Amino acid sequence: MDIGLVGLGKMGGNMRERLRRDGHTVVGFDRNPEVSDVDSLAALVDKLPTPKVVWVMVPAGEPTRSTVAELGELLGEGDVVVDGGNSRWTDDLANAETLQAKGIGYVDCGVSGGVWGLENGYALMYGGDAADVEKVQPAFDSLKPEGDFGAVHAGKVGAGHFSKMVHNGIEYAIMQAYAEGWELLEKAELTDNVTEVFRSWREGTVIRSWLLDLMVAALDDDPGLSQIAGYAEDSGEGRWTVEAGIENAVATPAITAALYARFVSRQDDSPTMKAVAAMRNQFGGHAVRTPAPKGGDAAGESKAPDQAAAAREAGAGSGREPAES
């Protein structure tokens, strides 16, 4: 199929490559001209045959809303917009309503897979009308992992991102449990090699998982996690999951505790949060904070929290889509 892809960051760029490897024609647009195939959204739309399908992979919130609004002025009846970023499901309802008035379809798609998706495939959770989903189905089939699982039409518009939100909330809790277990094993001073204990759990135990594999990889890279500050961000979905639990009278104590632990990490250097930050870096390429060298400031995300927050705010509209949480 022919498909437009807006946002060619860590995930978007790899998604373009995976689609092309499977024989699809992909026209990509990004604010960075070095990776972009065209110089504007209008040029992207012009290159696509009808019905046109445009997949958006930019940061959630205003960057996505404004991109969808611009596409609404460029596309026509029967075309489809796919939001594959980490948008809040309530945004999907508003976007779909706006596009529906113009006869343009809308599909929301939660995407999981991080920087590993190019080779392993992406878990996809999508919502929308069956007719709109059908127009995107060849891309879904190419992006998903091999095998019977890894992709689902979750329901109506909003269901895809709502499912991905809950997925990420669960992810918060699992990472927190691994991280707390690691800190306890290190602190007790009874275990000679904590990394090897974690490695042994990768086979035959009920807690084996890909996140456990990534935790071991992080410990192999940096035994004791001495090069990572105990500071972990949250990308929104954990907060939204807790809020949804409150709205639906569903208790989410494990997810809530994991979210709050990340808040605590921003006050003090936490060994547990070193582990969370290490896993986030392993699966999503997220930045980690490192200690400042003598006589100078640390680079990038190793700024003081208030400075880092200002830097993140300044880059909110940079065109980079978020990966995993």
Amino acid sitting at position 114: G
Domain end among 104, 125, 157: 157
- Least Cα distance to 265 among 314, 298, 232 occurs for 232
Residue 36 lies in a domain: yes
Residue 315 lies in a domain: no
- Which CATH number covers residue 223? 1.10.1040.10
**Are 222 and 148 contained in the same domain?**
no
Q: Phi and psi for 251 in degrees, rounded to 5?
A: -70, 130
Query: For the chain, what is the domain count?
Result: 2
Four-residue CA torsion sign, 90, 93, 99, 105: positive
The pLDDT value recorded for residue 231 is 85
Dump strand ranges (E) for the chain: 2-6, 25-29, 53-56, 80-83, 105-112, 123-127, 151-155
**Are 147 and 14 contained in the same domain?**
yes
Residue 291 lies in a domain: yes
Q: How far is CA 223 from CA 186, 228, 230, 270, 301, in A?
A: 11, 11, 14, 16, 21
Residue 20 lies in a domain: yes
3-state SS, residue 50: coil
Residue 308 lies in a domain: no
**Are 205 and 294 contained in the same domain?**
yes
Domain end among 157, 176, 203: 157
Residue 33 lies in a domain: yes
Among 164, 237, 301, 321, the one annotated catalytic: 164
Report pLDDT digits (tens) over 128-159: 999 999 999 999 999 999 999 999 999 999 99
**Are 52 and 120 contained in the same domain?**
yes
Residue 271 host element (H or E): helix 271-284
The pLDDT value recorded for residue 317 is 41
The pLDDT value recorded for residue 268 is 61
**Are 151 and 171 contained in the same domain?**
no
Among 10, 52, 144, 171, the one annotated catalytic: 171
The pLDDT value recorded for residue 232 is 87
**Are 177 and 197 contained in the same domain?**
yes
Q: Which residues, given as ranges, of the chain have pLDDT below 70?
A: 268, 291-325
How many CB atoms lie under 10 A from the CB of residue 279?
25
Cβ–Cβ < 8 Å for 288, 278:
yes
Q: What angle do CA 147, 172, 85 make, to 5 degrees?
A: 60
164 is catalytic: yes
**Are 171 and 31 contained in the same domain?**
no
**Are 146 and 18 contained in the same domain?**
yes
The pLDDT value recorded for residue 308 is 42
The string of DSSP letters for 168-214 reads HHHHHHHHHHHHHHHHHHHHH---S-HHHHHHHTTTTSTT--HHHHH
Domain end among 94, 129, 157: 157
Q: Residue 218: which domain range?
A: 165-302
294 is catalytic: no
CA–CA distance, 193 with 200 (Å, rounded to integer): 11
**Are 116 and 172 contained in the same domain?**
no
CA–CA distance, 54 with 81 (Å, rounded to integer): 5
Report pLDDT digits (tens) over 62-74: 999 999 999 999 9
The pLDDT value recorded for residue 323 is 46
